[in-house]
Each structure stands twice: as structure tokens, then as C-alpha cells.
Amino acid sequence: MIVLGIETSCDETAAAIVTDAREIRANKVLSQLAEHAPYGGVVPEIAARSHLDHVDRLVREALAEAGAKLSDMDAIAVTGGPGLIGGVIVGAVTAKTLAQVLGKPLINVNHLEAHALTCRLTHDVAFPYLLLLVTGGHSQLVAVEGVGRYRVMGTTIDDAVGEAFDKTAKLLGLPYPGGPAVERAAKAGDASRFALPRPLLGKPGCDFSFSGLKTAVAQTVEGLGPAPSEQDVADVAAAFQATAAEALSRRTRNALETFASAFPRARTLVVAGGVAANGAIRNELAALAGEHGFDLVAPPPALCSDNAAMVAWAGLERMKLGLTDALDFKARPRWPLGEVRAT
């Protein structure tokens, strides 16, 4: 089986072709970074316009790279949400129309589900596994029991960790997107110089909170005066990153303990989503997994940030279970993982 995937839910226009032999035949991603950078964040209308300008070209390029024709595809998969709705609609209508013209099945993929299943494309991970999903908009701990069977064990009660990275970068005068910029700056920093509050320390459960940390970073930066030195910036970045990574790891530990007693034979902790590209976070989680006799699986960074290979793969997984969708499916700006259809 071979599936075309389309992704237009945020600021990357992407098209990819993936087979059920876990082979990525093409993975085209066009970043709109430069178009949004002047605004310090993604502007929905600019994103939607750009998706329309480029999505059909990216499909053509993916087909050329794969050496395949549209008529070779067994199905068309597309992100139907959650995301910036104007962009999601461009991808959804493109995919609906391709499926309609080709007479092939259409699969409406939840963007978070696509992140959640990527480790099965890259590492053939068996169900069940514990997933830490960390993106610009989401921070969740999920027991992944099967395709469409996602038990959300913890989520953020305020901001996503990716937002905290972006905010920290903005406060420090670092470029957008904040994740990679903070990680680069932190390399030369001394994390112990500033003691930032550790979110939810000593509290049971596995929810997250990052707004207090964000505020503390703002206060710390303010205390540095109008012109912080390069070393100041590096030290704040390092302190923030270390605190965020520690918080993620500490809350994941709680989830891991609950998960391991529910699924005594499960052995895999997975981290996915754009923030999973962060090395400090990966290191913390690898240590945590090791302590509990788990393996940490993290897809390569290119498949952690938004892409269409993960959408095509999730489409394949759903199609194998007969989970296809009609041409009138509704694109959704909000679509929690717990509401993904399993039958």
C-alpha cells in the first residue's frame, strides 16, 4: 500500500508519500518561517494564503521524488485538524478533491495522532507505549494503546512547553521560533546562575504547568536591566531549558509509574512533536527511561517537526483498520486526541 499525505495545519506546507513497508518515498516540507518571522509568530491568514499558493506544487514534487503517479496512490490522507482552520481547510479540500477525482479512499487524520504514531513508522514500536507529546500548542502524556485508542494521562493546565520556549526566546531577544534559538543560546550558559521555580514540584499526577515559569523568566530578564550581556542571555536560556526539561521529566516519571503498572510488559517511552528535537529534553527523558528499564524512542528531528510523512503513515494505519472518511468531513480547529474515532 502507498499513501499520499498532506499537511497544512500550521506554518509548514507539506506533502509526502509513504508505503506500508515503512518506506518514506518522498517527504517535501516548505517552511513559511520567513513569511511569519516579522510578526514573531504565525499569522493565520498569511499561513492560509501561503498553503494555497504551494500545496499542489508540493504534491507534484513529492510524486516526482517518489517516481510515482497520483493514480498509483491507494489513498489520500490529510490533516483535518487541530490547527489554524484556514490552512487546514486548504489541505482538506485539496485532499478531498484528489480522492474524489481518483476514486480513492480519503483519510482524515488528527495532527496529534500523526505525531503519536510516527514512532511506528520510524522504529516499528509495538502498542502499548507511553507518549510524551510536546509541540508549540500541546504538552501531553498519552497511553497509546492502539490506533485511535489514546488515553490522555496528563496535559498542560495553562501553556504548552513550546509556547514557553517561544516566549523565553522573545524575552531574550532571540529569533523566532524560540525552541532551537533557546537551545543554541543555552549551550554557552550556566543553568545554575538563576534558580527558577520548578512547576508543580511535589504535586501528584502528570499534568503540566508552564505559565509560572514563563513569568519567572520575564522577571529574571527584567532584573538584568535594559541591555543584558550575551552571557546573561545564555545563562537565562540555560536555566529555563534545564527547568523545563526537569519538569517534563519529573511529570513523565509519574505517568511512567502508573503506565508501567497498568501495562507490565510495555517497555517503550516515546517523545514526539516539535519540542522533542531539543537535546536537553531528550537527555533527561533517556535517563528517566533507563532508570525504569524502558527504552526512549524519539523520531529524528525532521519527523518530529510538522511534516506530511507522519500524516501519510497515520492514514495507512487507519486505512488498515477500515477507518476511511467521506468527502463531507469537517475540518476542525480543535480536536483533542481523546476524541479521535477508533471504529
Partner 1 sequence: MKHILGIDASTTACSAAVLTGDTIAAWRFEAMERGQAERLNPMIGEAMDEAGIGFGDLSLVAVTTGPGAFTGLRIGLACARAISLAAGVPLAGITTFDALARAVSDDERGAMAAAGGRLLVCVEAKRRDVFVQLFDADLAPVGEAGAMDGEAARVALADGYYLLAGDGAEHLRPMLAGNPHVRFSAALAPPDARHVAAIGAARGPSPQAPRPFYIRPPDVRLPARG
Task: Kindly state the smallest distance separating residue 190's Cβ from partner 1, in Å.
Answer: 30
Q: Which of 50, 1, 60 is nearest to 30 (CA)?
A: 50
How many degrees, rounded to 5, is the angle at CA 149 between CA 146 and CA 152? 120
Three-class SS of residue 109? Answer: strand
90-119 as b/e: b if 16+ CB within 10 A = bbbbbbbebbeebebbbbbbbbbbbbbbbb
Q: Which of 289, 331, 337, 340 binds partner 1 (CB under 8 A)?
A: 331
Task: Kindly state the smallest distance separating residue 331's Cβ from partner 1, in Å.
Answer: 6
Indicate the residue among 160 and 296 with the shorter CB distance to partner 1: 160
Task: Kindly state the smallest distance separating residue 68's Cβ from partner 1, in Å.
Answer: 13
Which residues have C-beta within 8 Å of that of residue 5, sequence separation ≥ 6?
A: 14, 15, 16, 17, 18, 77, 78, 109, 308, 309, 310, 311, 312, 313, 314, 315
Say which amino acid occupies 248: L
| Phi, psi dihedral angles at 193 (to 5 degrees) | -65, -35
Q: Establish if 276 lies at the interface with partner 1 (CB under 8 A).
A: no
Q: Establish if 267 lies at the interface with partner 1 (CB under 8 A).
A: no
Q: Establish if 315 lies at the interface with partner 1 (CB under 8 A).
A: no
Residue 36 burial by Cβ neighbours in a 10 Å radius (0-12, 13-18, 19+): buried
Q: Establish if 44 lies at the interface with partner 1 (CB under 8 A).
A: yes
Q: Are 142 and 151 in contact (CB under 8 A)?
A: yes
Q: Establish if 48 lies at the interface with partner 1 (CB under 8 A).
A: yes
Task: Kindly state the smallest distance separating residue 43's Cβ from partner 1, in Å.
Answer: 5
Interface with partner 1: number of residues (CB under 8 A): 50
Q: Establish if 215 lies at the interface with partner 1 (CB under 8 A).
A: no
- Please identify, among the stretches 35-43, 121-129, 190-198, 282-290, the one whose residues bind partner 1 according to the rule CB under 8 A: 35-43
- Please identify, among the stretches 145-153, 155-163, 181-189, 196-204, the one whose residues bind partner 1 according to the rule CB under 8 A: 155-163
Indicate the residue among 166 and 246 with the shorter CB distance to partner 1: 166
Q: Which of 41, 205, 212, 336 binds partner 1 (CB under 8 A)?
A: 41
DSSP sequence for 296-308: EE---HHHHSS-S
Q: Strands 268-272 and 295-297: what pairing?
A: parallel
Indicate the residue among 178 and 189 with the shorter CB distance to partner 1: 178
Q: Which of 327, 338, 339, 341 binds partner 1 (CB under 8 A)?
A: 327
Say how many CA atoms lie within 13 Å of 280 toward its Cβ: 23
Which residues have C-beta within 8 Å of that of residue 111, sequence separation ≥ 6?
A: 7, 9, 79, 81, 82, 83, 306, 311, 335
Indicate the residue among 81 and 228 with the shorter CB distance to partner 1: 81
Q: Establish if 112 lies at the interface with partner 1 (CB under 8 A).
A: no
Q: Are 98 and 70 in contact (CB under 8 A)?
A: yes
Q: Which of 23, 33, 67, 97 binds partner 1 (CB under 8 A)?
A: 97
Q: Are 15 and 59 in contact (CB under 8 A)?
A: yes
Q: Which of 23, 37, 100, 195 binds partner 1 (CB under 8 A)?
A: 100
Interface with partner 1 in residues 284-303 (CB under 8 A): none
Q: Establish if 180 lies at the interface with partner 1 (CB under 8 A).
A: no
Q: Establish if 31 lies at the interface with partner 1 (CB under 8 A).
A: no
Q: Establish if 160 lies at the interface with partner 1 (CB under 8 A).
A: yes
Binding site for partner 1 (CB under 8 A): 9-11, 36, 39-46, 48-49, 52-53, 55-56, 59-60, 70, 82-87, 89-90, 92-98, 100-102, 111, 136-137, 160, 162-163, 327-331
